[in-house]
Amino acid sequence: MATLEFHPGDLSAPFVLVKSPATEVTIQEIYDGAQDWLDEPVNMSIDHFVEAAGKDLLDAGPPEKRVGVTLRLLHDWRIKFEDRAGPTVEICRISGGNLVTTNSFGNNPIYASDYVFATYEAATSPTIVGVGTPTEIADAVLGETMTELTGDPGATPTFRQIFTLIFMTLRNKSTQDG
């Protein structure tokens, strides 16, 4: 679990600092940490700066499927990984859902850090696939695919159907990529 510090912007823009040596922090950790920090009496005058939504049940499964978590940063708050000594750049990641913001920094939720390349997710339709064995998950995916191809979730795919599915997927991807 990452250690977080909250800097409300007395001398600079406000940010959540992910302390070194952590290279990953989850959306849930940021949200929970912010709520705990804001609950402290000394911080109660600070505007609420995080909103989160998600985890709505889509399908009881198996495997269980839920909408992914989206965290919205408000009031110019951003996420900063603690500066590294370098010269090697360290890749750091914000995971576990979507991170979005509308701010005066080009809507960028990342606060720059020395020798850090930070990544985050901002998908348009996130889902969380619930716990299941690899076989249960594969069966569920195959069942959905076969239903699309044949109308029968229990059908055994033919080579032609598999090839067609791969071709259609690649064609759709190339169309999306431009």
Residues 99 and 23 in one domain: yes
32 shares its domain with 111: yes
Residues 121 and 146 in one domain: no
Q: Same structural domain for residues 47 and 119?
A: yes
Residues 69, 122: contact at Cβ < 8 Å?
Answer: no
Residue 155: give the domain boundaries: 134-177
> Do residues 107 and 169 both lie within one domain?
no
Query: How many domains are contained in the chain?
Result: 2
Q: 114, 129, 144: which is the final residue of a domain?
A: 129
- Is residue 88 domain-shared with residue 152, that is, in the same domain? no
Whether residues 69 and 114 share a domain: the answer is yes
Sheet with 127-129: list strands edge to edge.
Answer: 57-59, 65-67, 127-129
Task: Enumerate long-range contacts of 36-42, CB under 8 Å, 24 or more apart.
Answer: 37/4, 37/6
32/89 same-domain check: yes
**Residue 63 sits in the same domain as residue 19:** yes
Task: Indicate if 99 and 57 belong to the same structural domain.
Answer: yes
Residue-level pLDDT at 17: 96
Q: Which residue has the higher pLDDT, 84 or 13?
A: 84
Across the chain, mean pLDDT equals: 81
For 35-77, write each residue's pLDDT tens digit: 999 999 999 999 999 999 988 888 887 788 877 789 999 999 9
Torsion of CA 132, 137, 140, 143, to 10 degrees: -150
More confident residue, 155 or 118: 118
Instruction: Encode pLDDT of 126-146 as tens digits.
Output: 455 565 666 676 666 666 665
* Judgement on whether residues 120 and 151 belong to the same structural domain of the protein: no
Q: Do residues 30 and 101 share a domain? A: yes
pLDDT at 153 (0 to 100):
61
pTM reported for the whole predicted model: 0.66
